[in-house]
Structure 1
Amino acid sequence: MSKLTKQEIVDSVPQKGFFGHPKGLFTLFFTEFWERFSYYGMRAILVFYMYYEVTKGGLGLSQPLALSIMSIYGSLVYMSGIIGGWLADRIFGTSKAVFYGGILIMLGHIALAIPGSLTLFFVSMVLIVLGTGLLKPNVSSLVGDIYAKKDNRRDSGFSIFYMGINMGGFLAPLIVGEVGMKYNFHLGFGIAAVGMFLGLVLFNLTKKKNLGLAGLQPANPLNPEEKKKVYTRLGIGAFVVIVLMSVLIPLGWLTFESFILIVGILGFLIPTSYFIVMYKSSKTNDEERSRIIAYIPLFLASVMFWAIAEQGSTILALYADTRTNLNFLGIQISPAFFQSFNPLFIILLAPIFAWLWVKLGNRQPSIPRKFSLGLLFAGLSFIVILVPGYFSGTDALVSPLWLVLSIFILVLGELCLSPVGLSATTKLAPAAFSAQTMSLWFLSNAAAQALNAQIVKLYSAETEMLYFGIIGGAAIGLSLILFAVSPIISRFMKGVH
């Protein structure tokens, strides 16, 4: 089969059928809805599962270690997207990557649902990390594939898709969180597994009719000789890793702490290497190289944003559990409950932002300026959360409304940055690295959480105000710098708006 052109792929997809958008958006919307339901459901209770005592059904790890592992887990989940993007681009295409990834995620949640030990916990980590790496960047890349390059619906389509992500994220803590915290952690993880199964069924039943030719071919396929070399190297690499782990762990050289440090370094080393490879590739033309240069400051802004946003499942989860008055208006609130507010606000506000970008048309802020607004709101969300500590002290329980307000402000920033970043990535990506550039976008989240694995250790009741103040202030400062240099970045984007 000859290589399909972008237009041939777009023509094979029914262009109307889901709120004025291509019909394939329905398939991708609900596939990602169920994947995010399973992931955010698991994430809503995972940190509590790690640091709660064994007598309460947890693993009994220390709080600082649980927070660091949670950050590293998130970092590895997004870091593995590079592998998933590469496999999609070079071997089996984005559609198969989504399906295979969903199977691994489901198996990972099943492993968590089995009462056991740290061993099963780490088995589940490996499965979910690899599965999300295959599914997450490639389902987003498929969204870009169903629109023509200059289709004005693209940003709006990504906002709708982003709403699907957050519908799953909203329901998951309410259902999985409630069951996991009130009854049994493992039962909660089992519900997450069922969610991923439903997503796989829906994807398989609707992809042929709704997605047409999208995702069927790898963008830059390996020839048979190259495939043979890759499989050989992968086999050797896996063998070396297993041997090293079997030697280093018993000797005490590979510990939680050293592993966290290694992942932290890789979180920044891998994206740096990828930028260099893409820039120097013979398959990247001069216009695409200019766009890669423009993408770098956007990537760094995204790292700063997610370094704050991803603390919702670590520092703010701990804050909800230990610093917040969970008895509100006579109702006992679960600490996992607060993780539903972020997606709830996105569900409510995403249609407004999608309408706003379409309404403004060519008058809307440039992509870099949208990013600067995202950083500004992220910084303000951390400034807000230090206020109750300033007035009441850090040893008194605070109203849950402070946490809700902080999350609301963060969501304003997220809607300026995250769906826009997904859309910008599909526009700025070199043609030969389309899926891998989407993986690079998710690496900004990996780098952010690798950074968080180190800084979350600095949080305590004594350092609370300093912690929120320094991080929030740094984000606000970077937002002002990005706003000032936005015209320069826009010139390097070569016509992408």
Structure 2
Amino acid sequence: MNQALQNTGTFLGHPKGLFICFFTEMWERFSYYGMRALLIFYLVQHWGFSDGDEYILYGAYTTLVYMMPVIGGVLADRYLGSRKAVTFGAVLLVLGHTLMTVENNVQIFYLSLALIISGVGFLKPNISTMVGALYPDGDPRRDSGFTIFYMGINIGAASASIVCGYLGQTYGWAYGFGAAGVGMLFGLIVFIWGQKYLDGHAEPPSDEYKEKYFGISKEIWCYVSGVAMVFVCWILIQYTSVVGGLVAALGSISILFWIYYSLKKCEPVERDRLLSVGVLVMFSLIFWALFEQAGSSLNILTDRGVDRNFFGWDVPASMFQSLNAIFIFTLAPFFAYLWLFLGKRNIEPSIPIKFAMGLFFVGLGFLFLVFGMSSEPISSMDDSGNELVLGAKTAVVWIFVIYLVHTIGELCLSPVGLSSVTKLSPQRIVGVMMGMWFLASAAGNFLAGIVATSTSSEEYRKLQKEFKELGQEGYANIPYTEIEKIGFVDAYTAVGWGAIGFSILLMLLSPLLVKMMHGIK
């Protein structure tokens, strides 16, 4: 009997393959967010990055994570199919996380990042494609299935920051990174074991992958391309300015294509809708540049400038990275119901207004945190008897507040943005526009690294230099002074009001954008 027919069946009303994808993606997100929670601290406290270099490298890393899925998705769509691509990506991820446990060789560290970037590139886009393929067109279970899948993402993200963050900052980096690697290994085992439940929906699109080129099958050439991707990422992660130039070049090409195609290749209604969604994509870049402070500057602030003591235990700063996923998990059903409730009464906000709300909340979150940081400085004496003005620690409740408010902003913008790209773009280029959406996310992540550097004042950089000249680690031995605190306050005040300014601008543009959407809601 055909293997696909043998394994056809449901569990909790959904294809069994959904739960294979659920657990594979859960463990992949566990590995990714576990490593992400520790990365900024590892750069600074272990490798001695300072003067903003850690933020730029972190931004370049997350940028490449968002860019590489374009290549992995194309190779899977054309040759490999989702199953082979996901398996290959999972193997690269296991290797990358395993090598992260090697702490005495910086080139192995860069290679680890490159393997993780490339692994995400092959796994991330294709596991989602696989979920969609499990449901026939028009199947009413599809949205529910993606909701279950989305739960797996957030369970993995939330638990990773808690487990890996605790192990890494309590027992040592290798324990945290090792836990992330074990998680990805579990994901790979689950996926290999459960392939029989995918009902043949994740196989190569044709037999073209078997064709030989220079005596080697195209499937093998795809894997060679993956290895080449690792090598390229290994180089790029060491030359971060090249990543910025690459993002700028691809962004410029995308914008030119978007404008040209809108004006020259579209009918009037298509043109207006395509122009409107392009404007929204541009505003999303601003949102991600500020929202993604979570893994970089906000992580550093939580570590150095926040009172994290709970009943005598200083909670590791990396564990607070779980708050975003926890809030998404709890608030997403409420927002899904809210939009339906408002829609039935014809008072649901338009797509541009939802985007403006996202920008407003991300700005408001920073301003709330700045308000919470307004404690008076503390005077103390250093070892030489000189007065040292320490920065008063911020109450931990304000970290909960900023993550909560930012998550509300994310729920207003991120799922709405994905949906609007598919609804407003002509079907013949919807894939290109989705790529533009993720490219904007990549550009936002790189810009996030630049924004994060503004939290380090010139005075604080001089203090770092002095400590280095004394042969001490630039970051670990500097007290949390008022100088550093002012750097965060000034930067977060500027970006907070800036985001609200862009929110107001988008609100003013919204009547025109709604008109250009020609009835699409």
Q: If the length of structure 2 is used for normalisation, what is the TM-score?
A: 0.77
Measured in 1, the distance between the counterparts of 2:93 and 2:512 equals 41
Q: For residues 71-98 of structure 1, what are the alpha-carbon distances to aligned partners after superposition, in whole Å with 9 as ceiling and x for unaligned?
A: 1111111121222232233332334332
> 2:157 maps to what in 1?
169
The 5-angstrom pairing of residues 202-213 of structure 1 reads 202-210=190-198, 213=201
Cα shift at 1:452: 1.9
1:192 aligns with 2:188: no
Q: For residues 331-363 of structure 1, what are the alpha-carbon distances to aligned partners after superposition, in whole Å with 9 as ceiling and x for unaligned?
A: 321111211111111111122223334455564
Q: For residues 236-267 of structure 1, what are the alpha-carbon distances to aligned partners after superposition, in whole Å with 9 as ceiling and x for unaligned?
A: x969x88x97xxxxxxxx995xx222212322
Cα distance 1:403–1:77, how it changes in 2: closer, same or farther (>3 A)?
Answer: same
> 2:505 maps to what in 1?
481
Cα distance 1:303–1:278, how it changes in 2: closer, same or farther (>3 A)?
Answer: closer
Measured in 2, the distance between the counterparts of 1:310 and 1:210 equals 34
1:35 aligns with 2:28: yes
Give me the CA root mean square deviation: 3.9
User: Match for 1:47: what amino acid?
Assistant: I
> 1:4 maps to what in 2?
none
Cα shift at 1:380: 0.7
Structure 2 counterpart SS, 1:33: helix
Cα shift at 1:209: 2.8
Q: For residues 395-432 of structure 1, what are the alpha-carbon distances to aligned partners after superposition, in whole Å with 9 as ceiling and x for unaligned?
A: 11111111111111001111122233334444456656
Measured in 1, the distance between the counterparts of 2:163 and 2:256 equals 43
The 8 Å contact of residues 112 and 121 in structure 1, kept in 2 or not, is answered as yes
> 1:442 maps to what in 2?
438
The 8 Å contact of residues 51 and 62 in structure 1, kept in 2 or not, is answered as yes
User: When the two structures are aligned, how many residues end up with a matched partner?
Assistant: 465
Which stretch shows the higher mean deviation, 411-420 or 315-324? 411-420
Q: For residues 107-129 of structure 1, what are the alpha-carbon distances to aligned partners after superposition, in whole Å with 9 as ceiling and x for unaligned?
A: 11011023331011110111111
The 8 Å contact of residues 375 and 476 in structure 1, kept in 2 or not, is answered as yes
Q: For residues 197-216 of structure 1, what are the alpha-carbon distances to aligned partners after superposition, in whole Å with 9 as ceiling and x for unaligned?
A: 22223333435435652574
Cα shift at 1:158: 4.5
The 8 Å contact of residues 375 and 394 in structure 2, kept in 1 or not, is answered as no
Which stretch shows the higher mean deviation, 118-127 or 478-487? 478-487
Which stretch shows the higher mean deviation, 193-202 or 363-372? 363-372
Cα distance 1:214–1:372, how it changes in 2: closer, same or farther (>3 A)?
Answer: farther
Which stretch shows the higher mean deviation, 144-153 or 77-86? 144-153
Q: For residues 443-481 of structure 1, what are the alpha-carbon distances to aligned partners after superposition, in whole Å with 9 as ceiling and x for unaligned?
A: 222101111222222113233222111111121122233
The 5-angstrom pairing of residues 72-471 of structure 1 reads 72-146=60-134, 158-210=146-198, 213=201, 216-217=204-205, 259-274=239-254, 276=256, 291-360=273-342, 363=346, 364-393=348-377, 395-428=391-424, 431=427, 437-460=433-456, 461=484, 462-471=486-495
Measured in 2, the distance between the counterparts of 1:374 and 1:307 equals 13
User: Match for 2:90: what amino acid?
Assistant: G
Cα shift at 1:492: 4.8
User: Match for 1:187: what amino acid?
Assistant: Y
User: Match for 2:491: what amino acid?
Assistant: Y
User: Match for 1:352: what amino acid?
Assistant: F
Cα distance 1:321–1:437, how it changes in 2: closer, same or farther (>3 A)?
Answer: same
The 8 Å contact of residues 86 and 436 in structure 1, kept in 2 or not, is answered as no
Structure 1 counterpart SS, 2:306: coil
Cα distance 1:356–1:25, how it changes in 2: closer, same or farther (>3 A)?
Answer: farther
Structure 2 counterpart SS, 1:459: coil
Cα distance 1:347–1:324, how it changes in 2: closer, same or farther (>3 A)?
Answer: same
The 8 Å contact of residues 30 and 199 in structure 1, kept in 2 or not, is answered as yes
Measured in 2, the distance between the counterparts of 1:171 and 1:212 equals 31
Which stretch shows the higher mean deviation, 377-386 or 328-337? 328-337
* Structure label with greater radius of gyration: 2
User: Match for 2:34: what amino acid?
Assistant: G
Cα distance 1:214–1:366, how it changes in 2: closer, same or farther (>3 A)?
Answer: farther
Cα distance 1:202–1:308, how it changes in 2: closer, same or farther (>3 A)?
Answer: same
User: Match for 2:313: what amino acid?
Assistant: I
User: Match for 1:481: what amino acid?
Assistant: L
Cα distance 1:358–1:181, how it changes in 2: closer, same or farther (>3 A)?
Answer: same
User: Match for 1:338: what amino acid?
Assistant: F
Cα distance 1:385–1:458, how it changes in 2: closer, same or farther (>3 A)?
Answer: same
> 2:468 maps to what in 1?
none
Q: If the length of structure 1 is used for normalisation, what is the TM-score?
A: 0.81
Cα distance 1:217–1:125, how it changes in 2: closer, same or farther (>3 A)?
Answer: same
Measured in 2, the distance between the counterparts of 1:453 and 1:172 equals 23
The 8 Å contact of residues 30 and 156 in structure 2, kept in 1 or not, is answered as yes
Cα shift at 1:322: 0.9
Gaps of 5+ in 2: 1-6, 378-389, 457-483
Which stretch shows the higher mean deviation, 34-43 or 131-140? 131-140
Cα shift at 1:285: 6.9
User: Match for 1:268: what amino acid?
Assistant: A
Cα distance 1:131–1:426, how it changes in 2: closer, same or farther (>3 A)?
Answer: farther
Cα shift at 1:35: 0.9
The 8 Å contact of residues 158 and 423 in structure 1, kept in 2 or not, is answered as no
Cα distance 1:315–1:89, how it changes in 2: closer, same or farther (>3 A)?
Answer: same
Cα shift at 1:373: 1.7
The 8 Å contact of residues 258 and 278 in structure 2, kept in 1 or not, is answered as no
Cα shift at 1:33: 1.3
User: Match for 1:199: what amino acid?
Assistant: G
Cα distance 1:82–1:15, how it changes in 2: closer, same or farther (>3 A)?
Answer: same
- Among 40, 43, 48, the alignment partner of 1:47 is 40
Higher relative contact order (CA 8 A, sep 6+): 1
Cα shift at 1:272: 3.8
